[in-house]
Chains A and B, each alone.
Chain A
Amino acid sequence: MKIISNNSKTDKEDMRKIWEKIGDYFRANSIWMKWYCTGCGAIELPPTMTSRFDMERLGMGPMATPRQADVLLITGYLSSKTLRRIIYSYEQMQDPKYVVGFGSCTINGGIYYDSYATMKQLDNYLPVDLYIAGCMPRPEAVMNGFDTLISMIKKGEANGWKHYKENYDWYSRNQLHSLGEVYVKDEFHE
C-alpha cells in the first residue's frame, strides 16, 4: 500500500494533460464491466443492475467480451484454474482498464485460506484498483465501491494498468510461481 500525501496528489493531478482529464471524465462516467463470474459474488450483481439499485444510472453496464470492457470484476474466490482465464481476459482488455476485487476471498483467501486451489491475494497476480470487502458485499457496498472507483478514475488515481505494464516482470514471476504455467491446457486446447 502506497500512501500518497495530499500535496503529491495535487501535483500528480496537475501532471495530467488536458485531454487526459477529458478522457478520464468520459471513462469515469461510462464504465463497462467484464463480468467474469469467478465465484459466489456474481449473484450480487443482478440486484445491483436491475430496478432497485440500477447501476446504469452511473453509466455502468455489463459487456459481453473483454475487448469491449473497461473494468474486470473478480467476483469471489479465485481458483488457480480460473486465474489462467482471468489473465487471458485481462490482457485482452483495452487500456485504460481497471480491476475490482470482490469480497474477502480476493483480499486474503477468506474461508478458502487453506485450499490447495485458491489464490489468497489477488493483487499478486493482477493490479487491483479497488477492493470491496464483505463476504459477499451487499449491493449497497457494491454501489459504494463503484462510486469510489468513479471518483478514483476522475482524479486519475486508478493507474493499475500502468503499474502492470511497468512491473510486468514481478507480476509474471508471481503468476508463474503459483500456476507453473499461464497457458491454458485443457481438453479444448489440445
Chain B
Amino acid sequence: MNSMNSIYENLKSKFNILGVDYPDDMQMAIDLDEKDIHTVIVYLKSIGYTQLSMLTCVDWIKEGVFQLVYIVFNWDNGIHILVRTKLDRENPKFRTIVEIYPGAQFYERDVHEFFGVEFEGNEISYKNLFLELWDDMPPMRKDFDPQKYSDEKYAAREYKSKFISEVGGEK
C-alpha cells in the first residue's frame, strides 16, 4: 500500500488527477480529464508500465457518458493502474493510443464495435473484429435491447404447453 501511495503522490505532483480509487490491493484507479490521458499513459509506460492489459468502456447511461478504462500493468512490482476518463455519450470520439501501445489496435476495434466510440488516428478501428454483418446499434450500449433483437432475428421454439407457467415461475 505504501508503494501505491508513493505512486499516487508522484502522479499527483505531475498531473491534474480528478479522483482516485483502490479496487484491490494491487490496483489503483485514477480519473483524469480526457486531454491528460495520453501524457499520463506515456509517462506510465516510461516508468515501467509496459503492458496494456485492457482497454474497455463503461456505459453510464444516466450520466450520459462513456467511461474509457485503460489498464496498464507493471511486471516489476505487479501493480495495475486503471486510467479512466469520461467522454460525451452523444458523439463519442477519442484519439488513439496505437502509437504508444500497438496492441491497443484490437481493443480499440473492440470498443468501437461494441460501444461505437470512434478512435481518431486509428485507420482500421472501424473494421469489425467479432460481429459479422451487424445491422443495429452497438450491442453493449445500455439502451440496446438484446431480447427484442433476438426475438426479431432468431425464431424461438414454440411449445405446446407452457412449462414455466405450470410450475409457477412466470408472473
Could you tell me which A residues sit within 8 Å of B by CB distance? Answer: 80-81, 84, 107-109, 113-121, 124, 174, 177-181, 184-187
Nearest CB of chain B from residue A86's CB, rounded to whole Å: 14
- Complex: A109 Cα to B150 Cα, angstroms: 10
Q: Give the size of the chain B interface in residues (CB under 8 angstroms).
A: 19
Of A113, A124, A181, which one neighbours B150 at CB under 8 angstroms? Answer: A113
Give B112-128 as 1s and 0s: 1 = Cβ < 8 Å from A's Cβ atoms.
00000000000000011
| Given A81-B132, A185-B132, A114:B147 Cβ within 8 A | yes
Could you tell me which B residues sit within 8 Å of A by CB distance? Answer: 127-128, 130-133, 135-136, 139, 144, 146-147, 149-150, 153-157
List the A side residues contacting B127 at CB < 8 Å.
187
Of A84, A119, A177, A180, which one neighbours B135 at CB under 8 angstroms? Answer: A180
Given contacts A81-B130, A108-B157, A180-B133, 20 further A-B contacts (CB under 8 A): A81-B132, A109-B154, A109-B156, A113-B150, A115-B146, A115-B150, A116-B144, A116-B149, A117-B131, A117-B139, A119-B154, A120-B150, A120-B157, A121-B155, A121-B156, A178-B153, A178-B155, A180-B135, A184-B132, A187-B127
The residue in chain B whose Cβ has the minimal distance to the Cβ of A185 is B132
The residue in chain B whose Cβ has the minimal distance to the Cβ of A179 is B133
Q: Name which of A116, A124, A181, A185 has the most chain B CB atoms within 10 A of its CB.
A: A116
User: Is the Cβ of A178 less than 8 Å from the Cβ of B154?
Assistant: yes
The residue in chain B whose Cβ has the minimal distance to the Cβ of A190 is B127
